[in-house]
Structure 1
């Protein structure tokens, strides 16, 4: 039944979305089978009980995603959604109140950190790739999945602009144009020249120093970021906190500190929601606010 649902959805949703929903539904179905309950259609009380038991070991974000997957399955089966019932709503409320934890935020790879990491990239083929990828990720505010989807054909002639072909907030692939700094364009040109790339995936893997025809996947990009940060001798805690979102977070924080308004940052990074962006930049804006407060107090105390 699960396979039938997702076969219908191929091409209408991204592979990552379908993969996540499929995995969540497998967990829910297994739980229902173990408790002798129907999973499709599922009774509201069944989902509420599932939420209560999941709370013992899972984060609230995981629980919410699994409830979304259950709602998705009912919609694709043309069944009324049991997740809209008050019993499920109250179970999710209990879960949120029991777990007073904010979503974990990746560390921001700011321009300061980027400069240190890029400076430590060697002049090898992989080093040129890493420097180019990190710089493009920062300038475009892209997630790792968006970097993996970039092709040489998305660049303009002088590497000053690139079309971001897909994004989490752009499910239909309308794309957006992102602008690259002179430094990034130079690093990107160096990578393209060294790899002799004229078409196809922009950022590729290397095996025994041989260039792959396939793009780097998201897990490889995450490992690349951490390895480059470690090579730059950043603090171990900083290395651990970096992720495939770090360039996006760091660039947004830098833009906030530079005085760019929220609308400008949203446009640059392709955000659709103020709430999501606010979580990215709140630490940077709060720090700036306190720095200005302390500077103001120094002036007052000196008077």
Structure 2
């Protein structure tokens, strides 16, 4: 018997559970455990209230990053038999050289020093105590590293729109247009298309994308919409901001909401898929013909009717994770390549897919806006960048086409 039945359930408990690597430790506990293990026994105790308020002032992502960086620094100190607290300037310079020898970028070295400074303040050591990270020797070591290595940072591969915005045929590789075309019409495909379309329009960071909720959407009379962003990386105090959503993205989001049955809570969730193949009917079998040691002999005795192929989509209750979003981008990119929607193959295809990250949509929109002639200040405001310089870093080459020289000289030097 042929055919397929597609059903949907809004029941997160029915989702298959991924194997956990271990019990998840709260980020505060992890950070405090990391620091406590490295403190010397004779160090005066830090203010419990001071530590508590310092942790409350930090974002969870910041605390997780500090804990990860400290693990690296403390591991080096153990190998070199150096005290992590309080760290001396000569030890920090040696640590910086160790990191440079391992090929770490200047931005990573600067971040590690900032991490060590934050950890020292957390345990009661402040600038007045003369933090080693502020010592001229350490600053000179960072400056020398930047002179040797330069300050250009590797950026996420952009996912630009392509299509109607690619009037000069300059966009190569994966585009939003190609990825949207590769999305299917089932529950997973509708979610993926809504995720890509909304994330691109609003230039969302992955933390903003995973935090998006149904209640944050505000439809407009012309079919477009607004998305409330209660908090972001550059808005830790929660002042809030809004992003414009195109009519196309609003239609895609609505299609996903109707298909999934989601009415409130997180907008983008995990979709579990259970596929069962069609089975032909099995006629009843006489009792005397069934071997005595047969398992499930009752089923053979009764027989079984034919069953149709069935696909069950299970919609989770919690939002997608950062890793889940990245996996979705790469899965759709591979589907687009398999469908011949992009002209990439072989080793270059693997490299292009691996270069995609949760930041790719945001970088792609930034570059598209620069290519359209928008200025850095307007782009920074629209995409909630901390400064125009940050936005310019992602569109430096494209911004040249709309700078003062190109606008003035382009009219006379043709």
Q: TM-score, normalised by structure 1?
A: 0.90
> Contact 1:150 / 1:165 at 8 angstroms: preserved in 2?
no
TM-superposed deviation, 1:10: 3.8
Paired with 1:98 and 1:169, the residues of 2 have a C-alpha distance of 31
Q: Could you tell which deviates more after superposition, 243-252 or 2-11?
A: 2-11
Paired with 2:96 and 2:386, the residues of 1 have a C-alpha distance of 29
What's 1:277 paired with? 391
TM-superposed deviation, 1:29: 1.4
- 3-state DSSP class of the match of 2:227? strand
> Contact 1:203 / 1:215 at 8 angstroms: preserved in 2?
yes
- 3-state DSSP class of the match of 1:253? helix
Paired with 2:74 and 2:247, the residues of 1 have a C-alpha distance of 52
TM-superposed deviation, 1:38: 1.6
Provide the aligned C-alpha RMSD in A. 2.5
Paired with 2:399 and 2:354, the residues of 1 have a C-alpha distance of 23
Consecutive unaligned residues in structure 1, runs of 5 or more: none
1:113-152 to structure 2, matched below 5 A, reads: 113-152=175-214
What's 1:39 paired with? 84
What's 1:213 paired with? 317
Q: Could you tell which deviates more after superposition, 68-77 or 101-110?
A: 101-110
Pick the aligned partner of 1:61 from 69, 88, 107.
107
TM-superposed deviation, 1:288: 6.9
Paired with 1:190 and 1:231, the residues of 2 have a C-alpha distance of 21
Paired with 1:204 and 1:116, the residues of 2 have a C-alpha distance of 23
Paired with 1:283 and 1:205, the residues of 2 have a C-alpha distance of 37
TM-superposed deviation, 1:128: 0.6
- 3-state DSSP class of the match of 2:56? coil
Show CA shifts across 1:217-272 (max 9, x none). 11111111111122112321433322111111111111122222222211110112
- 3-state DSSP class of the match of 2:218? coil
- 3-state DSSP class of the match of 2:183? coil
What's 1:86 paired with? 136
TM-superposed deviation, 1:210: 0.8
What's 2:20 paired with? none
Consecutive unaligned residues in structure 2, runs of 5 or more: 1-29, 37-50, 163-174, 274-312
Higher relative contact order structure (alpha carbons within 8 Å, sequence separation ≥ 6): 2
> Contact 2:392 / 2:399 at 8 angstroms: preserved in 1?
no
What's 1:241 paired with? 355
1:109 maps onto 2:184 in alignment: no
Q: Could you tell which deviates more after superposition, 208-217 or 233-242?
A: 233-242
> Contact 2:379 / 2:388 at 8 angstroms: preserved in 1?
no
TM-superposed deviation, 1:131: 0.6
What's 1:188 paired with? 253
1:3 maps onto 2:32 in alignment: yes
Show CA shifts across 1:20-48 (max 9, x none). 10111121112112222221111111111
Paired with 2:116 and 2:188, the residues of 1 have a C-alpha distance of 43
How many residues align structurally?
297
Q: Could you tell which deviates more after superposition, 9-18 or 197-206?
A: 9-18
